[in-house]
A and B are shown apart, each in its own frame.
Chain A
Amino acid sequence: MWDYSDKVKELYTNPKNVGVIEDANAIGEVGSIVCGDALTLYLKIENGIIKDAKFQTFGCGSAIASSSALTEMIIGKTVEEAEKITNRDIVEYLGGLPEQKMHCSVMGREALAKAIANWRGEKVTEDATHEGEIVCQCFGVTDVLIRKVVRENNLKTVEDITNYTKAGGACGSCIHKLEDILQEELKLQQSFTESQRDAEKKKPLTNIRRMQLVNETIVDVIRPILQKDGGDIELIDVDGKKVYVALRGTCSHCVASTVTLKNLVEAKLREFVEDDIEVIER
């Protein structure tokens, strides 16, 4: 028997906001009956404020409670405020969840993200919040979701990932991939704290220090990510805050290379070096 908190018990026995909003202008659907849990979230958003939220859930007690909690938390909030809610917040609202049930809170967070994307008119395909590569075939979990959950919840083991996302919980054939993702994330976290420490020194970067940091970030953080897809990157020059790079391998002729440049290379350099770095492709 699971050790559910009183709040969880209260919410699965008497869930709030069950049902369908007929004139909903935002709908988010996650999970499937095959996976054993699924949630459909209906929102009525007016002037950027969530006026009403209802849900339907197929799943265990904690899935029902998480869905109910989510709707209670977001009603009355602006979309921007609601977007800031993490699965952690849902867990806190519930007074905790058993480790193996954490994925229920993640499912709530995912449904909310999907509903908001739907409201904004962003293309909601089967995996709108799931862009990326499917890592766990059994439960259709992508690397993007896994990375996000690892970061938000500060996860440290593959078992944690399974508890929070279900990935690796069935056939187990993706466990080595989960291990790789986790190691990358842990490494990122580490270099992040290191760079934070550097930032705390609050000394403006000297040219030579900036160049070193740019080089380190490219070698340790950016290149491993690109190489996973057969791409590569070369640092050509650093001129003040302008960083000149060239994309190599599959990246060089990839149609998404400008996106990669902005969202990955520049973003990472801004994160780890200075927040006004500009990346220019040569």
Chain B
Amino acid sequence: MKNTAKKIVYLDNNATTMVAPEVVEAMLPFFTERYGNPSSMHDFGGKVEKDIEWARHEVAMLLGAEHDYEIVFTSCGTEGNNFAIAGVLSYFPDKRHIITTRVEHPSVLNLCKKFEREGYRVTYVPVDRLGRLDLDVLFDSVTEETAIVSVMHANNETGIIHPVEHIGRYLRERGVLFHVDGVQAAGKIPIDVKKIQCDLYTISGHKFHAPKGVGALYIRRGTRIRPILYGGHQERGRRPGTENVAGIVGIGKAAELARKYLPEEERVKKLRDKLENEILMRFPNVSLNGAKDERVPNTTNVGFEYIEGEAILLYLSEMGIAASSGSACSSGSLEPSHVLRAMGVPFTSAHGSIRFSLSRYTTEEEIDYTLKVLPEVVERLLEISPYWDNANKRPREIKV
């Protein structure tokens, strides 16, 4: 097999995205011409402040925030998630209970594990076979002790959208602080923090065509939270450190574009559905991981049985296609992804799970090319597999 594609077919947009050309253009002046420090007294620096405030307004609009000052710029999604949870816990040292889910991003899970080691109680809400949260467990575990509930808006591996509005309403009535990790939602679905009734909402620039190294945290007016970094007065002292001006302008521009191009997601969804339906139809031993509805429009996660995910990725990569896998081998750990395990996906297909994530730059030709290449890849790996009977084109009996 040889890569005949002229350029890479990038179907790994949940990992990171291309920086939009408009974003690059908007950022460029801030490197060599308008490089002043916004905190400076002279005009050269001071005027840059206006660009930061413009970006803040754009991000506030993207999230549906009431006030621009509810947006704090951060360096990434991980920082936003850490800031939200650790910042709230630090304000309420007597509240020793955290509620989160088993399918969160490591920047939430590993932080919660740290607090667990320090004596906090953490409830990890389970999901069902389709990746949907067990809301009864979530609601029943709320107590006076609960400092914060942290739930992701959309899951990075399956694209499943969690019912954050439903959760938000319940928690607001009980006065429990609610953080939503919206890293995988921004740019893919409409976001309205007022409707969600959350107090904190994390986004990360590079997941929606801004560069890596910039993110934002929405902090609802009046939310009790302490900073996790201490220093100067930047971001009203909530996130000190000289502003990443170019990055902030970049995320502002990306937020503006995300709103403008949100209708494009309909087209992305059609392409995703085409890819997914064809895969499910053409291959007999493939299943969809996660619920079909209630998903972000760009993500599909399918499990190929009898072949292994990393091998599929390597073969796809040879053909110029970039995707990702929840298999053990590709993760560097020795177990399949925690999300697929939480869902109870059988190991036989978890090891062969592949995530394709599209973006508004994905074209129909790219999807067609992928659909053309995929059968060759699967066929070749089945040939190598001890679990596949090549003579009779059917699986062998498996000893587990």
Contacts and interface: CB of A to CB of B under 8 A. Distances in A.
B318 interface: yes
A267 to B, nearest CB: 33
Given A13-B1, A34-B400, A162-B334, A60 B308 contact: yes
Contacts of B384: 15, 18, 56-58, 64
Interface string A19-48: 110000000010011101111100000000
A32 B311 contact: no
> Which secondary structure dominates chain A's binding surface?
mixed
Contacts of B309: 60
A60 B311 contact: yes
Given A13-B1, A40-B386, A169-B333, A58 B307 contact: yes
Given A34-B347, A36-B351, A139-B334, A58 B1 contact: no
Most buried by B among A32, A33, A39, A101: A33
A239 B1 CA distance: 71
Contact of A34 (B307, B329, B330, B348): B348
B329 A36 contact: yes
A166 interface: yes
A100 interface: yes
B53 interface: no
Contacts of B236: none
A13 B1 CA distance: 8
A166 B387 contact: no
A19 B388 CA distance: 11
B328 interface: yes
Interface in A57-77: 57-64
A244 interface: no
Given A36-B347, A169-B334, A12 B386 contact: no
A225 interface: no
B383 A36 contact: no
Contacts of B347: 33-34, 36
A254 interface: no
Contacts, number: 86
B327 interface: yes
Contacts of A138: 335
Interface residues of B, number: 31
B276 interface: no
A33 B396 CA distance: 12
A2 B392 CA distance: 35
A58 B387 contact: yes
B314 A37 contact: no
Nearest to A171: B335
B315 interface: yes
A189 to B, nearest CB: 26
A170 interface: yes
Interface string A256-276: 000000000000000000000
A70 to B, nearest CB: 14
A33 B351 contact: yes
Given A37-B329, A57-B385, 12 more contacts: A12-B311, A13-B1, A18-B384, A33-B400, A36-B327, A38-B387, A56-B384, A56-B385, A57-B386, A60-B308, A138-B335, A166-B334
28 contacts: A13-B1, A13-B318, A18-B383, A19-B383, A20-B390, A29-B386, A32-B399, A33-B348, A33-B398, A34-B348, A34-B400, A36-B335, A37-B308, A37-B329, A56-B385, A56-B386, A57-B384, A58-B307, A58-B385, A59-B311, A59-B329, A60-B309, A60-B330, A61-B310, A61-B311, A63-B311, A64-B311, A138-B335
Nearest 3 interchain pairs by C-beta: A169-B334, A60-B329, A60-B310
Interface of A: 12-13, 15, 18-20, 29, 32-34, 36-40, 56-64, 100-101, 138-139, 162, 166, 169-170
